[in-house]
Copies of this chain bind each other. A is one copy, B any other.
Amino acid sequence: MGLFTNLTMAKKAGLPPGSIVHVGERKLEKAGIQLIHYDVDNLEERELGKIEECYPYKEKQGVTWINVDGLHDTDLIKEIGDSFNLHPLVLEDIVNTEQRPKIDDMDDYLFVVAKMIYHDPDDEFLKFEQISLILMENYIISFQEDKGDVFDPVRDRLRREKGRIRKLKADYLLYALVDSLVDSYYGVLEGIGEKIEKLEDDLVTDPEPESIQNIHSLKRELLLLRRSVWPMRDMLSSLERGASELIDEKNLIFFRDVYDHTVQVIETIETCRDIVSGMMDLFLSSVSNKMNDVMKMLTVIATIFIPLTFIAGIYGMNFENMPELKWSWGYPAVWAVMFVVGVLMVFWFKRKKIL
């Protein structure tokens, strides 16, 4: 599973628009449908075998949340689309998991595409899962690629008998779901923050050649993250400004709150990007610093010994007429000269701040 999963694109060129073809990895063996129906007093949870089982709830009072795990079963998706009267293009977007987050107001219903992002413990890369949400008067239908999500806290709040969520309508449930998604980004950012801190410590104490690849992959992770969160911001911005009549004006303040969180996430991403950019300089400087130390040592040793070796070479010549060779104090004198030359060079290095 390469890093490019999120860059590869729909290969359905040639199919008519509205063709419901699953694009993306098949993450699940068999699609599953869960239904939660609630009003202030009652809550009913069911695992559905067939989508028809949810039809009776259409007429009922209260809010119904239908959650579909697994997008490869396109017949199921089509069936749901037919029974809830969804536009073919909406269905196409639901199963195309490379969609960017967006909101489409289809008059009768609101179609929201969002991204769930998490660190896969088995894998060091970020995972992106597309969550599509359909908001109708009393209904929410959510589509996920895989089992397991960040919505359990919402379910728990629904099960607990009291709390705003049971009293309010489907629009508040939509808010609660989107809020859970955005909350999950904080965890991802924290993980990235820790990576950055660790990498920075490494860079200062012991820059490894691998560090550059870590910086590079951190950069790319932030790039992919940013690509998913920016359109979330646009989506929430238009929700918060009251884009749809399906959302009660009194609840707009909640969407503004999620919007604020998204802005905070984006700013943190941008700050991280700036910091990671700066780390490249830190790394390169650290490496060149170490290299400079190595070169300095070569220089010092070479420049001290090269003249001394030259002197030794001089008196290794075999000329018959070399009076110094016969002087009895010639040998110690040469040692003395060498010593003086060596000491002088060391002093000179010190003064030049090389040693």
Q: Given A17-B257, A281-B216, A287-B288, does the pair A319, B331 have CB atoms closer than 8 Å?
A: yes
Whether A153 lies near B13 (C-beta < 8 A) is yes
A187 within 8 A of partner (CB): yes
- Please determine whether B89 and A254 come into contact, CB atoms closer than 8 angstroms: yes
Which residues from chain B contact A327 at a C-beta distance below 8 Å?
321
A4 interfacial contact with B, CB 8 Å: yes
| CA gap between A157 and B15 in the complex, in Å | 8
Contacting residues, chain B, for A313 (C-beta < 8 A)? 309, 312-313, 316
> Is B153 in contact with A15, judged by CB distance below 8 angstroms?
yes
- Inter-chain contacts of A329 with B (CB < 8 A): 321
| Complex-state Cα separation, A286 to B157, whole angstroms | 52
Is A253 in contact with chain B by the CB < 8 A criterion?
A: yes
Q: How far is the CA of A76 from the CA of B296 in the complex (A)?
A: 64
Q: Could you tell me the distance in whole angstroms from the C-beta of A156 to the nearest C-beta in chain B? A: 8
User: Do B316 and A318 touch across chains, with their CB atoms under 8 A apart?
Assistant: yes
**A14 close to B180 (CB less than 8 A):** yes
> What interface size band does chain A fall in?
35 or more
Cα of A156 to Cα of B312 in the assembled complex, Å: 83
Nearest CB in chain B: distance from A149 CB, A:
12
Q: Are A325 and B319 in contact (CB under 8 A)?
A: yes
> Is A85 an interface residue, CB under 8 A from the partner?
no
**CB <8 Å contact, B307 and A253:** no
Instruction: Determine whether A52 belongs to the interface, using a CB cutoff of 8 Å to chain B.
Output: no
Interchain CB contact under 8 A, A302 and B306: yes
- Whether A296 touches B296, Cβ cut-off 8 Å, given contacts A267-B100, A334-B317, is no
> How far, in angstroms, from A303 to B295 measured CA to CA in the complex?
11
A10 cross-chain contacts in B, Cβ below 8 A: 183, 186
Q: How far is the CB of A318 from chain B (nearest CB, A)?
A: 5
Q: 22 pairs across A/B with beta carbons < 8 Å? A: A11-B186, A13-B180, A14-B156, A16-B176, A98-B264, A99-B260, A100-B267, A204-B213, A206-B353, A212-B286, A288-B288, A294-B295, A294-B354, A301-B302, A302-B302, A312-B317, A315-B319, A316-B316, A319-B330, A320-B328, A320-B330, A321-B330
